[in-house]
Amino acid sequence: WTFTDAAGNSVTANQNVIIDDTTNPVIPTLANATVSPNQGCAFYNTNIQNPSYIADGTATDNCGTVTYEYVLTDATIGIVSTLEYQVFNEGETTVTWKAIDASGNESIVSSFTVTVVDSNQPPILTPLQNVTRNTDPTNCYYTNRTTTTSTRIPNGTATDNCGVASYRYLLSGATLGDVSSLESIRFNKGVTNVSWTATDRNGNTSAPSQFMVTVTDTQNPVIEAPQAITRTTNLYGCTSTRDSLNIGTPTVTDNCLFRVFNDAPAEFPIGETIVTWTAVDSAGNRATDEQIVTIEEQFFVAPSDSLILVQMYNEMGGASWNRSWDLNTPVSTWSGIGVRCGNVASINLSNNNLTGVLPTSVLNLARRTESDFSLHIGGNRLSFESAEDFVGLVPNFTYSPQANIYASRSERVRQTESITFNSQTEGNFNNYQWYKDQTPIAGATNWNYTITSAVPSDAGIYVCQVTNTVANRLTIERNPITLEVAGFVNPTDSLALVTIFEETGGPTTWIRPWILTDPIATWEGVTIVGDKVRELDLSSRNMRGVLPNVFDDDFFSELRYLSFFDNNLEGQIPVSIGAITTLTYLDLDKNQFEGSVPASFGELINLQSLWLSRNNLTSLPNEIGNMVGLRTLYLNDNKFTSLPETIGNLSELLVLNVSDNELLGLPNSITNLRKLVQFYANRNYISALPPNIQNLVALTVFEINTNNLTALPNEFLQLSSLSRFRVSENELEFDDLLPYSNQTYSVFDYAPQAPINEEEDILAILNSSISFTVQTQGNGNNYQWFRNGTSIATTQTLTINRVNNNDAGLYTAQITNPSLPDLTLQRRSIRLNVECQEGQNFEIQQPTQNVFCEGQPFGLRLEINDQLIDTQQIRWKKDGVVLAFANERTYTVTGAGVYTAEILTTNGCTALSNPVEITVLPQPEVTISLVNEEVFESTLNSQESVTYQWLKDGVAIEGAFERTYTPTQTGEYSLLVLTESGCSSVSETIIFTQDEVTGIKEPKEFRNLAIFPNPNNGNFFVDFGTTTPNGEPSFILIDAIGRKINLKTERISSTRYKVNTTNLTGGMYYLQIQTKDGLAFRKFVIEE
């Protein structure tokens, strides 16, 4: 309300007017509804294309606007405001509903039912397919197991809106049944029809679905035939009937039914018959097994055949046969006799030491004429007489070969003697042919053969072959006769042998000396072919002296084998041996040869084996590389310091032994020896190996023990054939050897090795710090330090932080490695001395003389004064190095150097002395020569002025004090020089005759000129070596006072002369030899 006054002022007030609605809405009665599920097993109330849609109720109200409330009970529970989109569960749902207007007035309550009824059949989603399965391993059916996923037949599956309650399977055909599941069902062999349905929980059943299960049997039966049996033939028969045998019953197993049969014959023949047993099951699967039925003949031999065999035994040495018969046993047990159906069917007495003659009664054997009858007597000691009567009458007759006749023997005759050989054997149709060295001798066709006057060419091997015109498949040979003919040796070889004998102590020292009056062919060690010496083996004969030079082109031109092994030969190896180019074997082992191996050895191109071991040889010539056929080379136990590079040219070399020499290294070319199998270089001074060791691809043995090796090349790992590897006693350490620890050598000799690091003698200051180290490498090394033999530390470096007197001592270390358990490396010792405190040093008394001449013997005595008398140990040193065994208060000096002494006091410290220096002056060097063949001149090398004194025959020449001297008499001249400091030297000696001097500038053609023996008794040889004199040489003897004596000589070869002297007194002589090349002198001694 609004009130306004005259002045226009107004006021407002409200009044509430309330109108109440008390009228209830009115609802209709809804009919009951029955519907089918459309959402699973429920009904979904939607008006979209749904003829069964249940609409909401409709109310009337005075005010017009109402709301609804639906209460659902029983099958469906809920309170909703509308039925649209409501889901009704299967079954009957009671719906109670009312209307409410805007004033809250409610209608009366009304009810109706909604029944959801399922009438749908379950559809089958996965129809099952026909399947085929094999029977179980031991049954005639298939079991559908859940555990066997690969073959399992699954149950069928269906779907239903309300869920499947059960399945049903009707089985017909091979298998009958009505089951709810196929699990564990046994399907019999054959075809089973399966018809199946699904039923939901409302009893709705699907249409049936069908499939087939086919079970097949693919398993073969298992059959084991009866055991093999052995039976005999029917008496006097060659077979055994099936009815008379019980061959047994097989063992058969199968998962299904089966039947068994065999193929046994009605009659079993002699020998093995294979009976095949067969098992076949209902599916047609089959298996077979074999049974061996052996039928042995009842060996009852006819008496007539038995008697013939006994006659053979008696007449052909049966008791001595290799496979003799026991006549008290059945004939069927006799070795080599084959019996068939009561008669002898075969005789095999081959290789049985048969002798005598085969009796002709053999032709009466009952089966002898049958085509398969056989008689074998080959490989015995029979003659043609055992074959002639049977050839062509025995179907299968073997009579060849037969043993050789007569015994092998060796015959030796002298040249011009006669000899007869025999080869007679039994047979009526024999032919003879004699052979020498496999070549037939013309006209030698009698049973004997005579050599009326033997010559060396008759030497050889003789045999005689005997044939027969009837028994023409047999050749009998006489065992060989080896004939030696002691022929007349050619004069050059004979003379050389005599020379060797006489000049190497043959008559006096040889073991088993030759008798020179006997034929040379009888001399031990000499092998002659024709009139030439082919082999000369004088091993271990106690030969002494110098081996004469008798091996030139004129001597031993056919020599193949030469051995002077194990004698006492000395001097140089004769150069002339190199001229024997036919040599294949040369053995000079275990003698006293010295000097160089002759260069002429390079001419021995056919030599295959060379033994120079165990001598005093010093060098090898380069020409050694020309011996290209050499296969074994033994140089061990000599004094070689090097090997020539040309040794690498020996491409066929298999064995090389250079052990026990003084080698400092190996030539690089040694790795060219690709065929080398064995190499030995033990006990030398080798410090390194040549590169490319891997080229020695054939090497199986490599030994280099006791050398100075400091490393091993890894190329050894590439030598796959190497099996014997010896490297002990070198200077190798673990890092050098570890790469070889896993190799499969048959012999790997790597221990011991030389001590490592240098010895040290250390003087430490009291309270100072000091460290000692083992300088080595190796993965996994272990270290152990010792002081005076007591273990103290296990580190590679040992440190003493504050040195005191108790630390003084001898320190050593040992190094091990588990990968090389046989090796323990020793570190060289470290002597730790602790210097005494100041004021505890001492003095060495100064000597009266401390300068001496080189080569001058002196014994200077140094002595410690009386200080520090109470000492524990004294050590003398030269140039800082401790002197062995010098531990007394005095020491005698014999050489130059700085000498000191140390004293280990009783309190453990080391006191030091003053140094004393000893000086040795060099000797003057002087040489002399003859100028213009008249005057001696001297050449001097000295830093001091000198005085001269000439000597003749070691005696000072009066007044000969100049640098030169003119000789007037024959003699030995030399020069004595004396320096200002008193040091002296004497030159070499030169022999002077009244007109010539020897010892300088001699023609090179006389380089190998020698006199032997020397000393001698006046009879000796002059040998020019390998050089033939240029023109006929002249010889003049010069005695000690210069008298010349002409000589008569005898030439015994192109390079050798024999000299005979008489009525000469013992003493020294000179022999003057002159040829067109010049003049030479040789000194020799004639013994009293």
pLDDT in tens, 992-1044: 765 444 444 567 677 677 787 878 888 888 888 777 888 888 888 877 666 77
This prediction has a pTM of: 0.50
Q: List pLDDT tens digits, range 453-466.
A: 888 788 899 999 99
Q: Are 639 and 661 in contact (CB under 8 A)?
A: yes
The whole-number pLDDT of residue 635 equals 98
Beta strands in 225-352 (DSSP E): 229-232, 239-241, 251-253, 258-262, 267-269, 271-281, 286-296, 337-340, 343-348
3-state secondary structure of 617: strand
Mean pLDDT, residues 725-753 taken together: 95
For 96, residues 6+ apart whose C-beta sits below 8 A from its C-beta are 70, 71, 73, 109, 110, 111
Token pair of 637 as six digits: 């136990």
The whole-number pLDDT of residue 1082 equals 79
Residue type, 969: Q
Mean pLDDT, residues 509-515 taken together: 94
Whether the predicted pLDDT of 755 surpasses 90: yes
What is the C-alpha separation between 621 and 603, in angstroms, rounded?
A: 12
The whole-number pLDDT of residue 996 equals 43
Model confidence at 868, pLDDT cuts 50, 70, 90, reads: low
The whole-number pLDDT of residue 748 equals 96
Which of 357-361, 592-596, 895-899 is the least confident region?
895-899
Q: List pLDDT tens digits, range 305-323.
A: 999 999 999 999 999 999 9
Q: List pLDDT tens digits, range 827-860.
A: 999 999 988 876 667 787 777 777 877 766 566 6
What is the C-alpha separation between 928 and 596, in angstroms, rounded?
A: 28
Q: Output the 3-class SS for 846-877.
A: CCCCCEEECCCCCCEEEEECCCCCCEEEEEEE
Whether the predicted pLDDT of 866 surpasses 70: no
The whole-number pLDDT of residue 995 equals 46
What is the C-alpha separation between 352 and 356, in angstroms, rounded?
A: 13
Q: Which CATH superfamily is domain 760-834 in?
A: Immunoglobulins (2.60.40.10)
DSSP labels, 572-611: PPPGGGGG-TT-SEEE--SSEEEEEPPGGGGG-TT--EEE
Q: List pLDDT tens digits, range 921-951.
A: 888 888 888 887 788 888 888 878 888 898 8
Q: List pLDDT tens digits, range 624-666.
A: 999 999 999 999 999 999 999 999 999 999 999 999 999 999 9
- Taking CA atoms, 24 is separated from 96, 109, 186, 272, 299, in Å, by 17, 12, 75, 121, 136
For 723, residues 6+ apart whose C-beta sits below 8 A from its C-beta are 700, 701, 745, 746, 747
Model confidence at 489, pLDDT cuts 50, 70, 90, reads: confident
851-921, CATH topology level = Immunoglobulin-like (2.60.40)
Mean pLDDT for all residues in the chain: 88
Whether the predicted pLDDT of 487 surpasses 80: no
Which of 184-188, 406-410, 1078-1082 is the least confident region?
1078-1082
Mean pLDDT, residues 868-876 taken together: 71
Percent of the chain with pLDDT strictly greater than 90: 50
Model confidence at 874, pLDDT cuts 50, 70, 90, reads: confident
Q: List pLDDT tens digits, range 662-700.
A: 999 999 999 999 999 999 999 999 999 999 999 999 999
Q: Which CATH superfamily is domain 1002-1086 in?
A: Immunoglobulins (2.60.40.10)
Which of 19-28, 303-312, 366-375, 471-480 is the least confident region?
19-28
Token pair of 327 as six digits: 């006549």
Q: What is the DSSP letter of 206?
A: P
Task: Tell me how crowded residue 54 is: count the other CB atoms within 10 A of its CB.
Answer: 21
Whether the predicted pLDDT of 446 surpasses 90: yes
What is the C-alpha separation between 776 and 782, in angstroms, rounded?
A: 11
Whether the predicted pLDDT of 788 surpasses 80: yes
Percent of the chain with pLDDT strictly greater than 70: 96
Token pair of 1054 as six digits: 């192109």
Question: Is domain 222-296 classified as CATH 3.30.70?
Answer: no
In terms of pLDDT, which residue wins out, 344 or 888? Answer: 344
In terms of pLDDT, which residue wins out, 456 or 552? Answer: 456
Q: Which residue has the tokens 């001698």?
A: 1016
The whole-number pLDDT of residue 707 equals 96
Model confidence at 560, pLDDT cuts 50, 70, 90, reads: very high
* Cis peptide bond N-terminal to 755, omega within 30: no
Cβ-based burial of 368 (10 A; exposed 0-12, middle 13-18, buried ≥19): buried
Q: Are 191 and 183 in contact (CB under 8 A)?
A: no
Question: Is domain 33-116 classified as CATH 3.40.50?
Answer: no
Whether the predicted pLDDT of 822 surpasses 60: yes
Q: List pLDDT tens digits, range 959-999.
A: 888 989 988 887 788 888 888 877 888 888 787 765 444 44
Return the CATH number of the domain spanning residue range 631-721.
Answer: 3.80.10.10
925-992 CATH pick, 3.20.20.80, 2.60.40.10, 3.40.640.10, 3.40.50.300: 2.60.40.10
**What top-level class would CATH report for the domain 124-216?**
mainly beta
**What top-level class would CATH report for the domain 409-466?**
mainly beta
For 664, residues 6+ apart whose C-beta sits below 8 A from its C-beta are 641, 642, 684, 685, 686, 687
Mean pLDDT, residues 221-237 taken together: 84
Which of 79-83, 441-445, 894-898 is the least confident region?
894-898
488-618, CATH topology level = 3.80.10
Beta strands in 448-489 (DSSP E): 448-451, 460-468, 476-477, 481-486
Task: Tell me how crowded residue 1085 is: count the other CB atoms within 10 A of its CB.
Answer: 11
